[in-house]
Structures are given as C-alpha cells and as structure tokens.
A and B are shown apart, each in its own frame.
Chain A
Amino acid sequence: MNGVNRAKALGSSLAIVAAALLIGFALQRLHIHPANFALVFLTAVFVSAVMYGLWAALLACLASLLAYNFFFLPPLYTFRITDPSNIVTLFFFGIVAIVASNLAAQLRKQAVTAGTERLRSAMLTSLSHDLRTPLASILGAAGGLLAHRHTLSDSAQIDLIATIQEEAERLHRFISNLLDMTRLEAGAIVPRLDAVDLSDMAGTALRRAEQILAGHQVTMEIPRDLPLLRLDPVLFEQVLFNVFDNAAKYAPEGTCIALKAHEEGSVVSVEISDEGGGIPAADLERVFDKFYRARAGDSRRAGTGLGLAICRGFLQAMSGAITARNRAGGSGAVFVITLPIASYHPAGIAT
C-alpha cells in the first residue's frame, strides 16, 4: 500500500468511528445504557478492519476508546474514569477490539489473495492454451517429418518445416511477453533513458515485425526535424512492435496501417491507426488490462492478452502514455502514444 492509500484508509477508519459516535448520541437519547455503546464502537473497529486492514483497525480501536470514555463514561467530557467497573469495560473493549481487528484483517487478506488467485487462474488458462497450441503443432510437425520423411513430398516437408518455424516464433513472442509482464510486475523494469530518434526506432520495430506485417501495407509520416525523444530504446521498440502486432492481428490483410508523429508542446504524439473493426467504445480503456482479449470467434487467433498491457506498463515507466480510440472517419482503431521530448534539440548542432 502506498502512502496516499494508507492515509486514505486511516482517514476512512476515523470517519467510521465518528459515525459510531453519532449513533451513540442517538442511542443516548433513547436512554439506553452506555455499556451497550461499546458494542457500537466495536462494530466500527470491525468494519475498519474488514475494509482497510489492521492498521486502520488499530487506529479505530484507539479512537473508539477515547471517544467512548470522553462522551459516555462519567465524569463526562473528561478522559478520567472514576468507576472501577468502567475501567474493566474499557480494558476488555480494548482486548476484544484488537483480537477482532486481527481476525478481520486476516479475512481481508484472504479476500485479496482470492482476487489474485482468480487472476492467476486466468493466467494459467491463457498460458496452457497459448503454450500448448503452438507446442502441439511443433511436436506434430516434427514427429510427422521424422516418421514419414521417405514418403512425404518436398512441398509437404516444406509445409511442415514452415509450421515448426512459425509456431516456434509464436511461442517465442508469447514467452517474451510473459517475461516482460513478469518483469513489470516485479518492478524489475528500470528504463535506461537515452535521447533517441523516433524514425530510427520505428524502422527497427518494423523490421522485427516484417513477417507479421507481410499482409499489410505500412505507411510512416515522421517529420524529418522531429526532436529526439527521451526514452529507453529497447523498451520503446517493444511497445511499437506490440502495437504493430496488435494491428496485424485485428485488421484484415490488405489493409493499411499508418504511423504518424507530430510535436505537441513538450511531448511528441505518435498515432498508429489501422483499418480493422475498431474497439467497442466500452472497451477503449479495458484493452490495456492484463488478459483482455477481443472477441475471437472467427478464424484469426486471439492474442495473449498481454501485448497492450505491456505497452502501457513500459510507457508509464518512461513517463509516456498510451490511449486508444476509434478512427473518426471509417472503421479502425487508433493508438495514441505520447512521449517526453529530450531536452536537447537537433537544430542545436551544426554539421
């Protein structure tokens, strides 16, 4: 939990105690014995524990003890206690509250773990499918080649070899994505920031994606005097590759994928648009979620559901951003990447 969230949790638990106090005042008017108010405060502590964890619960416990003593135990409006039986009440209140908040906090932790479990099982489903499918093709093709090498025609052999190669490459991309995601989640991504040329990086990403994009036409419009960008070239090349990969997957063959860049104040904005079916309006944000996949009912294979999540993670690590929208005229998705400009401007050096 970061500092802001923790402060929020502690504040909320105090608010819950304040609510308990108001209920106590209401009960007081009904002439209910003050000893019962302890139960109201105990409820407040318990709610804090379930919603905000142990520390919030302990704070609620302390605040409750003080408020209960100050407002409800004689002498009123002091922190003094004269009746020994009230000391006993407060003492046991404290113990019960602490034990209860401990238990509740553990319950909460388990609930959080259950959420992680759900994500993990989604990951395992994705993993087993995405790893097994190409593996099955590779094993099948290799086994076929070995067993029938004397009877298979040349073209059939080449087919099988090509299958092995393509499927192994798919596997490689998938494993790379998994590793990238794992590195991101482990906080192991430390960008090596450098001033780099966008057209240079777009060129290398395109080279790497050459086979995937063989069926598409790619156009690039990058101003020649675009300033250098401040980012990690390796991470950013992966971002571009993933966006290209995504476009190749969801835009039909024969269509055009366009990359355009322009300067916008202190950032450079890079837009990559395709001519596919676009993204449902409700999912424009969700496409960046881990394991989000577009409906994959038809022949084309769904992706790993990691590519765009990695893009967002990498860009955030480099003080960049990525958003999705749909093309204004005609169908297709547009991914907009914004990147910080390096302080240094190419116009500044003489040749």
Chain B
Amino acid sequence: MTRPLRILVVDDEPPIRRLLRTSFAAAGYDAIEAEDVSSAMRMLRAEEPDAVILDLGLPKQDGFDFIRIVRETALTVPVVVLSSRSDEAGKVRALDMGADDYVTKPFGTDELLARIRVAVRHRLQRDGEHAQFETGDLKVDLVRRVVAVRGADVKLTPREYDLLRVLIAHAGKVLTHRFILREVWGGDTDVQYLRIYVRTLRQKIERDPERPQLILTEQGVGYRLRAPD
C-alpha cells in the first residue's frame, strides 16, 4: 500500500471524533469524519476509505441503517462498530447484519486499532488462506491438519478441529455463536453444544483453561481467537 490507511469515523459526538482523529494520526493513519449516515455514505463513495468506525447511536438514521445500506450496495469496506456496555443484543445484530467487529465504549485506542487492522487484513485476504497458523503457544498446519501446543502434538476430534479451523479462518475477529454454529454444525444447533466444545477445546490447547489466552469469550456475543503473531 502506498498511501496510509484511510479510516472513516462516523460519530455524532465531536469529542469522540477528536479523540479518534488524534489517535489515528499518531498511529500514522489518515482519518476522515462524518457525523451522520447520509454524509458518511457520500464520503464512502468520494474518499474510498479502507475501514469505517461506526457509532451505533446516530441521530435520524442510526448505525444499523448504515450497515444495511453499505452491505446492500455490496461495498466490502470493513466496519467496526462502537457500542455501549450492556447492549449485547445490538452488537450481535450489527455483526449479523455484516459489521466486522466491535469495541465497547469506553475503549482503549490500542484495542480499536487492533480491531481495525484485523478487519482490514481479513478483507484483503479473503481467498488466500495460509497453510500455517501460529498464535501464542498454538501452531496449526492447515494442510496436514496437525495441531501442536508448545511443540507437542494435540489430538482433536474432527468436530473440535472444524471449530478451531473456523476460528483460525477469522483469527482476531469476533464470531457470533450463530455464525460458528452455522459454519461448524451447518444449521441451528443449540448453543450449548458450542459451549461444551469450546470447553473441551480449551482443555486441550490452553495452558490454563480457566484463564484462556487463545479462545476468548465475548460475553453474550460469541468467541474470538487470538490474532496470529
């Protein structure tokens, strides 16, 4: 990429826009701003940003409208949502509608930048899956289907491997329960299955399954695999 990453910030709160503008500039990104959905759509077309930071609670048309319009027009720009605590339903809805990820207010700018980088990377590498995946203690050979933790091979059941593979395909991104169930079980299986499989998978790959470092729980939303190193 020749030009710096350009990020469109859609938020009606000037202090939040100022915070993001300053932090993005410090990280070497180019920030452009919109305060409502219609001006955001205009900037999306005129400026072609690489990612969008979107506040869900906008006046008039809200963030959900924006996601809907963006996805209906088949724009592939990654969207990271700013949401409030105790609005898990809103997060899940935004993700199901096509948002890529979210951060919960109040957020750290490091966390937000990490989410943006992951989302942009996933959009760029849609087709080219890597043969090797590595994060923390975990090393997975996706061709030979070999899983190793701290150098020792780990035996997974086919289902556990499928689950891990889906998480790896979206490493660093939050995945909703519904998404994982559809990808691994291929339908509306009960979320309890997923919880049990995550538990057994953690017992096999986490150093301390009760303080997981690899498969992280996003309470009320889904799971997130640690981004590759």
Contacts and interface: CB of A to CB of B under 8 A. Distances in A.
A215 interface: no
A233 B200 contact: no
A161 interface: no
Interface of B: 85-86, 88-89, 106, 157, 159-160, 190-193, 195-200, 203, 209-212, 216-217, 219-220
A224 B199 CA distance: 9
A197 B201 CA distance: 13
A168 B19 CA distance: 15
Interface residues of A, number: 32
A202 B198 contact: no
Contacts of A234: 86, 88, 219-220
Interface of A: 168, 172, 176, 179-180, 183, 192, 194-197, 199-204, 206-207, 220, 222, 224, 228, 232-234, 237, 342, 344, 346, 349, 351
A172 B195 contact: no
Contacts of A342: 192
A204 B217 contact: yes
A228 B219 contact: no
B96 to A, nearest CB: 16
A322 to B, nearest CB: 19
A74 B175 CA distance: 84
A191 B107 CA distance: 25
A351 B200 contact: yes
A174 to B, nearest CB: 13
Contact of A194 (B191, B199, B209, B216): B191
A201 B212 CA distance: 11
29 contacts: A172-B106, A179-B86, A183-B86, A192-B89, A195-B190, A195-B191, A195-B195, A196-B195, A197-B196, A197-B198, A197-B199, A199-B210, A200-B212, A201-B219, A204-B216, A204-B217, A204-B219, A207-B211, A220-B210, A224-B203, A228-B192, A228-B195, A228-B196, A233-B219, A233-B220, A234-B88, A234-B219, A237-B219, A344-B192
